[in-house]
């Protein structure tokens, strides 16, 4: 199962994110975990989230970059769901996330070239996502470099379609790889 952990406070105001999510949800094995829709008051059902993670082979974090970071609810989710006991030393299940694959899919407001040293944002997207990367590795997951749609609010329909196709293709590939490495 491919779990897309989707975090956007105002999804129906974001044409780009909605289009992409709608498109990719058609892909086989995909399950959407829409955090802001499920937990508007930030009160996360921890066991439900952990059980979803257990069933997933591939875990995608899709979110808009907010203040150079993940949205607040996704940060909260990381804190309460990825507990030490769950991801590192669970006696019954071992390390729950061990061996799973993960990747971030990020929409940003700036141009691609501004995410580099000397640009408006001074660091690359990879740099901004280091905490997510290290968190994944720490939990024993394979971290794949992120997929980004820059200046998402300016994206044309064609660009969105192309990105969605790329996104679908990418997760299908990763899912297949994960399956092979399982066997």
Residue numbers at the binding site for other proteins (CB under 8 A): 9-17, 36-41, 64-66, 73, 107-109, 149, 152-153, 155
What does the alpha-carbon distance between residue 51 and residue 65 come to, in Å, rounded to a whole number?
26
Instruction: Pick between residue 19 and residue 177 the one whose CB is nearest to other proteins.
Output: 19
CB of 67 to other proteins, least distance (A): 9
| Structure-token match 């875990």, residue found | 59
Instruction: Pick between residue 66 and residue 143 the one whose CB is nearest to other proteins.
Output: 66
Gyration radius of the chain over CA positions: 16
Q: How distant, in Å, are the alpha carbons of 18, 63, 146, 162, 164 from that of 158?
A: 15, 21, 21, 6, 10
CB of 12 to other proteins, least distance (A): 6
Instruction: Pick between residue 74 and residue 96 the one whose CB is nearest to other proteins.
Output: 74
CB of 76 to other proteins, least distance (A): 12
What does the alpha-carbon distance between residue 54 and residue 98 come to, in Å, rounded to a whole number?
10
> Cβ–Cβ contacts within 10 Å for residue 54, how many?
14
- Among 57, 119, 49, smallest CA distance to 81 is for 49
CB of 45 to other proteins, least distance (A): 14
């Amino acid at each position: 199962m491919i779990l897309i952990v989707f975090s956007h406070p105002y999804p129906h105001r974001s044409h780009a994110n909605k289009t992409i999510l709608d498109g990719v949800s058609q892909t086989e094995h995909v399950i959407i975990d829409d955090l802001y829709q499920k937990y508007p008051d930030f009160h996360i059902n921890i066991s439900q989230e952990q059980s979803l993670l257990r069933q997933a082979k591939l875990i995608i974090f899709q979110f808009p970059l907010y203040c150079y970071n993940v949205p607040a609810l996704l940060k909260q989710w990381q804190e309460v769901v990825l507990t030490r006991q769950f991801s590192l030393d669970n006696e019954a299940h071992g390390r729950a996330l061990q061996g799973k694959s993960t990747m971030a899919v990020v929409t940003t407001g700036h141009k691609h070239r501004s995410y580099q040293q000397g640009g408006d944002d001074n660091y690359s997207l990879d740099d901004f996502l280091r905490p997510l990367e290290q968190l994944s590795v720490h939990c024993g997951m394979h971290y794949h470099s992120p997929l980004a749609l820059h200046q998402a609010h300016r994206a044309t329909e064609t660009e969105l379609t192309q990105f969605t196709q790329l996104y679908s293709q990418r997760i299908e590939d990763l899912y297949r790889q994960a399956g092979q490495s399982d066997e």
